[in-house]
Amino acid sequence: MTISRNVPGSIDDPSVKAVVAQALALIEKGSRVGLGSGRAATSFIFALGVRVRQGLRVAAVPTSRASAQKAREAGIPLLDLGEDVELDLIVDGADEVSPNLDLVKGWGGALVQERIVTACSKRQVILVGREKLVASLGERGRIPVEVIPLARGPVTRQLKALGLAVVTRTDSDGTRPFLTENGNFTLDCSVTEPLLDASAARRLEAAVLAITGVVDTGLFLGTADTVFVGYPDGRVVTHDRKGP
């Protein structure tokens, strides 16, 4: 498995190494683990693979084809998400983390799978660098919305009516719509101002999900149980969700 070195967000980034170590400490013998997507999650998969090759027995459910491939390369046994499967935790990244641990996810295009695996996990553990911390959601940019391709036009019109600026995400060469893991489109939505508070985030989520053709949004509200925040000097600050 190839891991980039000596760049921010890579396995050699001190902040990433530190949060990955914290997450690894939560993995016990026999754990069932959800494997997220993105750079922090990739670093975790790589490190978990080392532990597996040293004899740690675990099983994992990946949230994307890329994560599945990395897990296979790392030697991590994969588990089908059957009706009787409950995971001990999912380890994932996020694009924004607010003070109450609400999240924006989905910049990488696997938000629906991440939602499903999170729902099947007893605990969601998020690994981020300090740059992902925001005072309000929407501060760093887009909030992804996954839509059925046929519904892109009507959904775009209704999202604009909610006051959102909408851009259809394109593939790497910019000529065609980017396809999610489910073969859907992603509409990247920007708010005119960051969402004021948790209530505003929930009102927006409810309004967007009520639109016919919307599959899911990148607003992960109230899902994170623990957020490990890494710093360039190797420090980790742990934030645990308070209340239900």
Indicate which residues carry an active-site annotation.
114
The SS3 assignment for 62 reads strand
- Which two structure tokens, joined as six digits, stand for 96? 């924004």
In this structure, how many other beta carbons lie within 10 angstroms of the beta carbon of residue 234? 13
52 in the Ramachandran plot: left (φ > 0), alpha (ψ -120 to 50) or beta? Answer: alpha
The SS3 assignment for 65 reads helix
- Which two structure tokens, joined as six digits, stand for 102? 């609400």
Question: What single letter denotes the amino acid at residue 190?
Answer: S
**What are φ and ψ of residue 61, in 5° steps?**
-120, 115
